[in-house]
Amino acid sequence: MSARIRLALVGMGKIAHDQHLPAIAGNDDIELVATVSRHGEPVGGLPFFPNVEALAASGVAVDAVALCTPPQVRRAIAQFAIEQGWHVFLEKPPGATLAEVTALRDAATTRGVSLFASWHSRYADGVEPARSWLSGREVKRATITWREDVRVWHPGQDWIWEPGGFGVFDPGINALSIATRILPRPFFVETAELDVPSNRAAPIAARVAFRDTAGSAIAMDLDFRQEGPQHWDIEVETDAGTLLLAKGGSVLTIDGKEAVAHDAELHGEYPGLYRRFAEIVRAGESDVDVAPLRLVADAFLRGRHIAVEPFVE
C-alpha cells in the first residue's frame, strides 16, 4: 500500500479526542475518513456513524480502523472489521481476555490484514534507552510504583470498574508493558493482593510480587487513590548501578544522573504508535504482544481479593 491509509476512528471518548485525533492529524501516512461512536458528534465535517456495521454499509472507503472502545466490547467490533478486510489498531488493553486477543490475531492472519496491539507507554522517550542500558546487566531487584488519582485520570469511566475493565490494572498494564520491554528476563506472578471496593467489581489497588527466571524479585504497587503527587516509576537495581524510569517512562536517570528528559505531558506517545501502525500495515505484518495482558490475567488468577470501603466518585 503506497497511498495514505484511510482510517476510521471507533469510540470517541476522552482518549480518542486527547490522543488519537492529534496523532492522526500529524501523520502523513494516515488519513482520517470517518468516526464511529454510539454518542457524540462528527469531527471536522467527516462522516459519522453509530456503529461499524453502518460504516461498512455506507460505501465510505476504509483501509483500517482504530478501536478506542472499552475492552469489554472490542472483540466483536475488531472481528467484524477484520472480516471487512480492514487493518485493526487496538487501544490498550487489546481485549478483555487473552483468548479474545489470540483469536483476533489468528483471524487477522487468516484474512491477511494487520493487527496492532498498541502499548503506548513503550513509546515514551526513556524506554528504549533503558532497555539498551539494562541489556547484559544483572538485575538484582526491581520496584514498580504506579499510583494515580482515578478521579483525575478516569472521570466518569464506569466501565473501568466492571468485569473486564481491569480497575487499577488499566494504568498498571502500562507499567507492565514497559517492564516486559526493558527487563532482560521473563518474570512471573508469585503472589498478589487485590483491594476491591465493596460496590465495585474491579480492584482500586493491588500489590503484586513477581520473580524472574534468575530468581530476582520484582515488586509492583498500584493504587487509584493517590492524591497529591502522582507516581509512574520503575526502579531497577543492577550490578552496575540503579536505573530509574520515571514519569511513565519519559525521564530516565542512572545513579541519580538524568539520561533522558522529556517535557511533554504524560501519555504523549501516540505519534509513535501511529508511525508503527503505518509501518506494519505497509509491511503486511502484525504486532500483537500479549505479555503485559498475560501478567495481569495471572495477577487475577493468583490474587487474593480483599474487600475494602466503597468507592464513590
pLDDT at 268 (0 to 100): 59
User: Which set of grid coordinates corresponds to residue 137?
Assistant: 546487566
CB 257 within 8 A of CB 63: no
CATH topology of domain 121-264+297-308: Dihydrodipicolinate Reductase; domain 2 (3.30.360)
- Kind plus residue range of the DSSP H or E element containing 306: strand 303-308
Is residue 39 scored above 90 in pLDDT? no
Distance CA 85, CA 281 (A): 12
Tell me the per-residue pLDDT of 7-32, one tens digit each, with 9 for 90 and over: 999 999 889 999 999 999 999 999 99
Q: What is the pLDDT of residues 248-279, one digit of tens each?
A: 999 999 999 988 655 444 445 999 999 999 99
Residues labelled as active-site residues: 92
pLDDT score for 9 = 98
Distance separating alpha carbons of residues 303 and 288, to the nearest angstrom:
26
Cell numbers for 76, please give them. 466483536
> Where exactly are the structural domains of the chain?
5-117, 121-264+297-308
Residue 174 CA to residue 158 CA, distance in Å, equals: 19
Distance CA 283, CA 285 (A): 5
Residue-wise pLDDT tens digits, 290-304: 999 999 999 999 999
> CA–CA separation, 143 vs 274, rounded Å?
30
**Which overall architecture, per CATH, does domain 5-117 show?**
3-Layer(aba) Sandwich (3.40)
Cα gap 151→202, rounded to integer Å = 15
Bridge-partner residues for 143, per DSSP? Answer: 219, 235
> What span, in angstroms and rounded, lies between the C-alpha atoms of 290 and 276?
17
Average pLDDT, the chain: 94
Q: Which residues of 265-282 are buried (b: 16+ CB within 10 A; e: fewer)?
A: ebbbbbbbbbebbbebbe
